[in-house]
Amino acid sequence: MSVAVVGAGAFGTALAVALAPHQAVTLWARDAGHASDMQANRRNDRRLPGVDLPDNITISSKLETALACDTLLFAVPMQSLRHLIEHRDLSHRNAVACCKGIEVATGLGPSAILSSARNAAVLSGPSFAVDIARGLPTALTLACENPEAARALQDVLATSMLRLYRTTDVTGVELGGALKNVMAIGCGAVMGAGLGDSARAALLTRGFAEMQRVAMALGAQSETLMGLSGLGDLTLTCTSDKSRNYRLGLALGAGTEFDAATTVEGAATARALRQVATKHALDLPICDTVADLVDGVVDVPGAMIRLMARPLKEE
C-alpha cells in the first residue's frame, strides 16, 4: 500500500520521517521552491529544522503525484482542506485527516470533507512534530467507521515508536482534537497574564466539561473524550509552549506580538463553535470567551471577570 503525506509542514514532515524506515513515502509540498530545497538538502529547515529526511521520502510539489498513492495523510490546515481536494477523485483512496479543527464555513470536521474517499479516517492524539521526528515514543488514535479499514490502516501506519489505537468513533476523535486547541489558547492566556497554575487547572478542567458537552450533543462516545484524542491531547496542548495554540494564548495574556503567519487552528475552531452552540442550545462560556479573546472583543482581565462572575452552580 503506497503512502503519501499531503502537506510539508512540521507535522506532515514528521509523519513522513516516522513512516520512512518501514516504507517509501511521498511528501507533497505546496510550494515548488520549498520542495526543491528539501529534495536537494534532505531537510525541511523551514518547518522542521535539524531533522534529516530519509532517502526513501520522495518530495514533490505536484499534487497529482501524491494523490496517486493508495493512502493519503492530509496534514494541511483545516480551513484549506476542502479547497485542496476540490474536484479531485478520492474514491479509490484511503484518506486520513491529520488536521484538527472545525470548518468555519460549514461547522464540519475533516472526515466529512474527505467523505468521497474509499475510506475516510482521522489520526489524532497527543503529539508534537519534533517528538515524532526524533523517534520518541508516541501514541495516537486512528478513527474510521469501517473496522476492517481501520485495522488495515493501523497495520500500515503504526511503527515501533508510533503506537496507534483504533476506534470507530470518528466524531469523538475529531472533536477532541479540535476543541482542545480552543482550551490551549485559554490556558496560554492564563499563564501569559500571570494568573497562576491553579487558574490554568480550573480552566483546563472546566474546558474539558465543555468538550464533553459538545461531543455528546453531536453523537460522540463519552469514553473517546477520555482517551488519547481527548484528555490526552488536551493535557499536552494546554501545558507546553511547543503548542502553537498555547503560544498564541501566552502572547494574548502577556500583550506581546504573535506571528500572524502561524497556523492556529483553535482560533478558527472557537469561531465555528458559536454556530454549533446556537444550533444545539449549548452553554459554552469558555469557548465563547476564547473566540472573543482572539477577535479582540475582550482582553484577558475582562475574560477572567466574565468567567469568574458567572452564576454559581453544581459541578
The residues assigned a catalytic role are 180
Cα gap 262→248, rounded to integer Å: 9
Cα gap 114→131, rounded to integer Å: 27
Q: What is the CA radius of gyration of the chain?
A: 19
186 and 292 in contact (C-beta within 8 Å)?
Answer: no
Cα gap 92→149, rounded to integer Å: 13
Cα gap 299→205, rounded to integer Å: 21
